[in-house]
Amino acid sequence: MAEAEKTEKTEGTEKKGTFVEKMGSVDRRIIFLLIGLAVLIPIIIEYTTAIPTSPLVQNLFDKIESLPPGSKVLMSFDYGPSTVPENQPMATAFTRHIFEKGHKLYLMALWATGPRQSEALIEDVISVEFPDKKYGEDWIHLGYKAGNQGLINTLLSDFTAMYTTDLDGTSIDEFPMMKGIGSLTDFDLILGLGSGFPGTKEWVQFAGDPGDIPVGGGTTAVMAPLLFPYYPRQIVGFLGGLQGAAEYEYALIKQYPKYEEKSRLASTSMGPQVWAHLVIVAFIIVGNITFFIERSRRKRY
Amino acid sequence: MPKGLVLSALVLAVAAFTVHAQGEPPAPADSVMQAQSAPAPSVRPPSALRAYDTPNDHGSNITIEWEVSPDDAAPGSPVTGYEILRSENPDGGFESIATIVGSATIYADNSVEDGVDYYYRVEALAGTGTSDPVQAGPVTASQQWFDRSRANLLVISVLLIAAIITYVYLSTTRELYIRKIAGLEAVNEAVGRATEMGRSILFVPGIQDMDNVQTVAGVAILGHIAQRTATYETDLNVPVSRSIVMSVGRETVKQAYLEAGRPDLYNDDMVHYITDEQFGYVAAVDGIMVREHPAACFYLGAFFAESLILAETGNSIGAIQVAGTAMPTQLPFFVAACDYTLIGEELFAASAYLSKDRKMLGSLKGQDAGKAIAMLAMLIGVGLGTLATITGSDGLMTAYQWLKRLFSLNY
Amino acid sequence: MKRTIPLLITFAVGLALIVAMFIPHVPFYELDGMFSVFYDVIAVFAFILGGGNLLKVHLNKIQNKRRDWKYSIVTVSGFFLVLAAGLLKIGVPDGWSGGYQAPGSLFKFLYDATFQPLQATMFSLLAFFVASASYRAFRAKTKEATILLVAAFIILLRPTPLGYYLTYWLPEPLRFLHIPNLSTWVLSVPNMAGQRAIMIGIALGIVSTSLRLILGIERSYLGSEGK
Amino acid sequence: MEGQAILTTPLAHAVGVWIGALLTLMIFSFLYKDNPFYKFAEHLFVGVSAAYWMTVAFWTTLIPNLIARLWPSSMGSVLPSAVGNERNWWYLVPLVLGLILLTRLIPRIAWLSRWAMAFVIGYAAGTNFTRYLQSDFVTQVQSTMVPLYEPQGTLMATIGYTFSQIVVVGGVICAVIYFYFSKEHKGSFGRAARVGIWVLMAAFGASFGYTVMARISLLTGRMDFLYNWFIGANW
């Protein structure tokens, strides 16, 4: 750094850099400072952003909104603890919306680490915010079964052959909400929450297409581009990373203002993202404007 | 069930039973014994049982296929699964080796020995009992010497190897044109600049070990740069993140100083080990940069997220930076932050380019032949696919599917 | 002797692995797996050379009191402390049979207190460097640089409300120009085309380099053909 | 042992958090300029991480994959599961190769170490050849063979689909042409190469922009840690 400073100072003293030149070569430490603040301040003031919902997310929101109350929604937890920061806010937002509309929620998992995340959802959201919802009537916890896409295949033809009991081992015949569930085609919507293989893509390929069942869901940001080719024909919509979750939260708050306070998991962590991106975008604009001014000046001499 | 249906079911059962008895010797006693001991068959047996040695494997594996039992077709059917039995003699001693839930139609038995005859029976399972068995055999497992599902990969590999070897051979007789690569032209400029300023050159061969060909390519380029630092008597500093890279790097630099006729300038600590940890290594290299102010920094090899930390710190000390990697995720950062970047394949062309070795330059032409093959295949594939969808002709569609299969992982 | 045998070893091992791809028969089937375990074991032996060099360099610095020698004491003491804690399983609840990283062990404590925060913080420096790099690099100097700038700009706008307000008013037929859709398109069309071409190029480069190594045309550590 | 109880107590946790927070600030100080704090953190990180990876290699590779395979009976309490199985003589090969790599320490026979290097380079060439041929060459060529026209429901969607496919296929072809070494980039070939570098630049710009979000979330995590430590610590 010392060397770089020396050259900058010598340049500075020779000819007083005009404002434009100074803006053209801002010291990198100022940029660092602004990025640091852009991330720290939103954390301190817990700033939440209103991320306008993109059609990709809005379609899925409208689908759940338009389903008649009491529709059957299957939610599959296909991720591990490492992607909880991105996937868990999606599960939370979906669950609130499903219960708000009086739909029936079926929890299952293609990943062995899935049930741990669905249990966290039960403790933090279901039992706290919806104590009136009865287990076995409004929601049920079916747990993990091995087989990846092979499992989806079997469930498509005979759901109860694989899930003969719920997670705790009580036979499914005792649960009223399991009546009439012969195969995946009996569900009104499948939500695949994924971060890798098997994930949302496998739910589209092995359940959505063959069984003609509406499929939606959410994935980590890095997996999102893989789902774009399926939208909108084979997938109703999906949430891409934290931003997708924040957009869904924003749509949920717009529809049900009572969630304004509680439903802020994704949008608070999107605060630093928005501010930092704005700082970067601003510096790019500044850099280019000064570049064009200097070039036009040089052309004139 | 209305009486008519029961009657037809019975007739069907008898018909199915006689049709599939062909595997067993039709000793009347045997079939009679079968009929008495088995409870009235509640479900009809599966059909078309086939057992064969699983192809393209290293043996001890037999695959069994069958059609689902006629009762299993409709959803909500009484059939809950299938039982697989195996024996080494056709008449008896069958033991169950697997029960499969759901309407499966295939099973791979990997608990067999090669060269032994096996007989298989499959029965449909229902709540109340099992259907009559259907039998197949004898079948023996064996190892194959050639994996037919990779025949297409073999063709493509032979094609590429042939292209490369022919051009390597041709290059010894004919002059070959190789286009300019900006990053490599800058190597001499960078070494010259460091010598003028009396400052050192920093070389980072990536953070992966020698089992990654990008690191091997980086160390090969290190050899050529070391020859130049030997002739110009410039300091060379090579911090490495893996111990094997240290050993191979030292051998390479030592050889280069030998060939440049300056073994006296070489000392082992030019190439020194820091730590295997990606970010510990980057923290140390950043420290070297800001304290020793190298005039030129080379980042050539496999990099991960730390690439931008190196490039930005290098930029802050005003060094010429030449980077090269075959990690698509890191190329954007090198392109943005460094003066010159070797993009993907250019990293592998560097050592041929710098050494001017005719055979190596020939192999570059072989790579170009590989590109021609790839482009041709893609263009033909797209052409066939488009025409097939527009005209809807089956001939074009099968040609298109065949070409796609030629470039698939199991042929 | 010093040159031909290494070339033969590389030729034999490389060729065997390529051939093993096409032959499922017993010896070749697990060749790849076995060689990778052999490689890991060699890498562990190499650690002795690497670690030895690290200690030699820093102990040398301390002895000759060269620049920043005091910090070398930190490296050497940190090194021995963690190595002793790990190899001797100090503090591991069930002694020798317990896991070396078991909670309660000194090794785990040192990992959580020093290694993990240092690693996470060095990684997080990238947020600063991404900003300074984009300020410096995304300038419309040449056509290529302009395309680089425009593509990055579209993606950078996506999470910001600026991106939404900039294009939400566009009428329905121009819907694909909305920032979210445009950035999706840029990511899944030109970006995919570029990545695919780079990967095809890299694959050919690696096939050619591997062949040069196996045939002994590329010799690097053995010195060029001349000598 | 009474010792291990200490390291899991809340006090030990608090000490750990304090050390972590101080080291975090030391690394951040590098952003301003090189200083003694950063030097301390850097040197500590090098020593600790080198020893960490050596310990990991010792317990996960040397013991289970070499010593347990050659002397299973000696495992005793360290790896009880291995005591039963019988010796596998094949593992003498890596043992010998590892030892001759160490001959680098003895200058007179240091040339022997090249045999071990030869094995490593042969292994690299063989595995990379097969892996990259399959995953990067064959798969990428196949996934580019996509029909340019395919009905997509509405007319607008079909036009969009066809346009995108043309850009993808054209982009891949031009970018591959850019990588051509043995042909002058002149005339129509040169123009295709130029379009190729534009496609590459668009790809680099897009993936640069796309990873910014991931990098910012890393910093958010550290700032969160520092903030909670700062307000949590009872000054």
When CB atoms are compared, the residue of B213, B284, B371 closest to D46 is: B284
Judge whether A214 lies within some domain: yes
Kindly list the residues from chain B whose CB atom is less than 8 angstroms away from the CB atom of residue C25.
58, 143-145
Comparing CB atoms, the residue among C67, C130, C210 nearest residue B308 is C130
Are A119 and A204 members of one domain? yes
Helix, strand, coil distribution of chain A in percent, nearest 5:
60, 10, 30
Q: How many domains does chain A have?
A: 2
Closest CA to B167 of D181, D175, D136: D181
Candidates B250, B284, B403; nearest CB to D42: B284
State the pLDDT confidence band at B317, using cuts at 50, 70 and 90.
Answer: very high
For A6-46, the pLDDT digits (tens) are 333 333 334 456 777 777 788 889 999 999 999 999 888 88
Phi/psi region, residue B79 (left: phi>0; alpha: psi -120 to 50; beta: rest), is: beta
Same domain flag for A97 and A240: yes
CA distance A258 to chain C (A): 23
Flag whether pLDDT at C223 surpasses 70: no
pTM of the entire predicted model: 0.82
Amino acid at B150: R
A-chain residues within 8 Å CB-CB of D156?
none
Q: Which of D65, D199, D218 sits opposite C190 (nearest CB)?
A: D199
CB count, 10 Å around CB of D71?
A: 11
In angstroms, the separation between the Cα of residue B231 and the nearest Cα of chain A is: 28
Of B247, B274, B367, the CB nearest to D113: B247
User: Subunits touching C (CB < 8 Å, at least 3 pairs)?
Assistant: A, B, D
Q: Is B259 on the interface with C (CB under 8 A)?
A: yes
CA distance C90 to chain B (A): 23
Q: How far apart are CA B148 and CA B145, in angstroms?
A: 9
Given a contact cutoff of 8 angstroms between Cβ atoms, the answer to whether B375 and D208 are in contact is no
At B220, list the tokens.
């090969």
Same domain, A98 and A188: yes
Model confidence band, residue B394 (pLDDT cutoffs 50, 70, 90):
confident
The reported pLDDT for the residue numbered A7 is 36
Residues of C in contact with D58 (CB under 8 A): 44, 86-87
Residue A180 counted as domain residue: yes
Looking at the fold, whether A186 and A244 belong to one and the same domain comes out as yes
Q: Please give the sequence-ordered ranges of beta strands (E in DSSP) within chain C, or none if there are none.
A: none
Please tell me the distance from the alpha carbon of residue B36 to that of residue B13, in angstroms, as a whole number. Answer: 15
Burial of A268 (0-12, 13-18, 19+ CB in 10 A): middle
Tokens coding D50: 């080198």
| Residue-level pLDDT at B19 | 41
What is the C-alpha separation between A64 and A248, in angstroms, rounded? 12
pLDDT range class, residue D234, cuts 50, 70, 90: low
Q: How far apart are alpha carbons D175 and D142 in whole angstroms?
A: 17
Which residues in C lie closer than 8 A to residue D122 (C-beta atoms)? 9-14, 17, 213-214
Domain annotation covers residue A200: yes
Is B147's pLDDT higher than 60?
yes
Task: Categorize the per-residue pLDDT at A5 as very low, low, confident or very high, splitting at 50, 70 and 90.
Answer: very low
The answer to whether residue A85 is domain-embedded is: yes
Q: Could you say which of B101, B312, B318 has the minimum Cβ distance to residue A3? A: B318
In whole angstroms, how far apart are CA D39 and each of B288, C68, D50?
A: 10, 9, 17
Name the pairing type of β-strands B95-101 and B106-109.
Answer: unpaired
What angle is formed at CA D145 by the lines to CA D144 and CA D151, rounded to 5 degrees?
105
Mean pLDDT check: name the lowest of A288-292, B35-39, B311-315. Answer: B35-39
Q: For A151, which residue in chain B has the nearest alpha carbon?
A: B102
Question: Given this model, what pLDDT does residue A189 score?
Answer: 94
Q: Is B103 on the interface with A (CB under 8 A)?
A: yes
Q: Distance (Å) from the C-alpha of residue B47 to the closest C-alpha of chain A?
A: 20
Q: What is the mean pLDDT of residues A87-110?
A: 91
Contacts of C222 in chain D (CB under 8 A): 114
Structural domain including A291 reads: 18-47+271-300
Q: Does B267 touch chain C (CB under 8 A)?
A: no
Q: Give the model's confidence band at B410: pLDDT under 50 very low, under 70 low, under 90 confident, else very high.
A: confident
Residue C164 pLDDT > 90: no
The per-residue pLDDT for range A47-67, each reduced to its tens digit, is 776 677 777 888 999 999 999
Is residue A40 domain-shared with residue A60, that is, in the same domain?
no
Say yes or no: A292 and A226 in one domain: no
Domain with residue A156: its CATH number is 3.40.50
Identify whether residues A119 and A221 lie together within a single domain: yes
DSSP codes joined into one string, chain D: --HHHHHTSHHHHHHHHHHHHHHHHHHHGGGT---HHHHHHHHHHHHHHHHHHHHHHIIIIIIIIIIHHH-GGGGTTT-GGGSSSPP-GGGHHHHHHHHHHGGGGSGGGGGGHHHHHHHHHHHHHHHHHHHHIIIIIIHHHHHH---S----SSHHHHHHHHHHHHHHHHHHHHHHHHT--SS---HHHHHHHHHHHHHHHHHHHHHHHHHHHHHHHHHHHHHHHHHHHHHHS--
CA-nearest residue to A6 within chain B is B317
* Domain identity same for A206 and A284: no
* B317 burial level (CB within 10 Å; 0-12, 13-18, 19+): buried
Helix spans in B113-264 (H): 151-171, 182-197, 213-232, 243-259
Residue B33: predicted pLDDT: 38
Min Cα distance A56 → chain C (Å) is 9
How far, in Å, CA of A124 to CA of A140, rounded? Answer: 16
Claim to verify: residue A85 and residue A142 sit in the same structural domain: yes
Residue B190 φ/ψ, nearest 5 degrees? -65, -45
State the DSSP string of A256-273: -GGGTTT--HHHHHHHHH
C135 touches A at CB < 8 Å: yes
- DSSP reduced 3-state for A76: strand
Per the domain annotation, does A3 fall within a domain? Answer: no
Of C127, C131, C180, the CB nearest to A283: C131
CB atoms within 10 A of CB B141: 21
Quick one: pLDDT band at residue A297, thresholds 50, 70, 90? confident
Does any domain span residue A7?
Answer: no
In a domain? residue A221: yes
Do A135 and A41 lie in one domain? The reply is: no
Higher pLDDT, B29 or B66: B66
Nearest-10 Cα torsion for B353, B359, B365, B366: -130
> Is A1 domain-assigned?
no
Average pLDDT over residues B317-342: 93
Q: Are residues A86 and A43 in the same domain?
A: no
pLDDT for B320 equals 93
Instruction: Please provide the average confidence, as pLDDT, over all residues in chain C.
Output: 87
Give B304-347 as a 3 state SS string: CCCHHHHHHHHHHCCCEEEEEECCCCCHHHHHHHCCEEEECHHH
**pLDDT at residue B333 in the model:** 93
B351–C218: do the CB atoms touch at under 8 Å?
A: yes
* Range with top average pLDDT, D69-83, D163-177, D206-220: D163-177
Can you tell me the mean pLDDT for A190-210? 87
With an 8 Å Cβ cutoff, are B287 and D38 in contact?
Answer: yes
Residues 175-234, chain D, touching C (beta carbon < 8 A): 175-176, 178-179, 196-213, 215-216, 218-219, 221-222, 225
Question: Which chain D residues in 197-226 lie under 8 Å from chain B, judged by CB atoms?
Answer: 200-201, 203-205, 207-208, 211
State whether A282 and A233 are in the same domain: no
Min Cα–Cα distance to chain D from C200, Å: 5
User: Is residue D35 pLDDT above 50, yes or no?
Assistant: yes
Query: If you average pLDDT over each of A49-63, A77-91, C53-67, which comes out highest?
Result: C53-67
Which positions in chain B touch C21 (Cβ < 8 Å)? 147, 150, 153
Q: How far apart are CA B329 and CA C202, in angstroms?
A: 13
**Complex confidence, ipTM:** 0.83
Using CB atoms, pick whichever of A225, A274, A284 lies closest to residue C160: A274
Alpha-carbon distance B319 to B310, whole Å?
A: 11
Tell me, yes or no, if C157 comes closer than 8 A to chain A by beta carbon: yes
Determine, for residues A221 and D213 on separate chains, whether the beta-carbon distance falls below 8 Å: yes
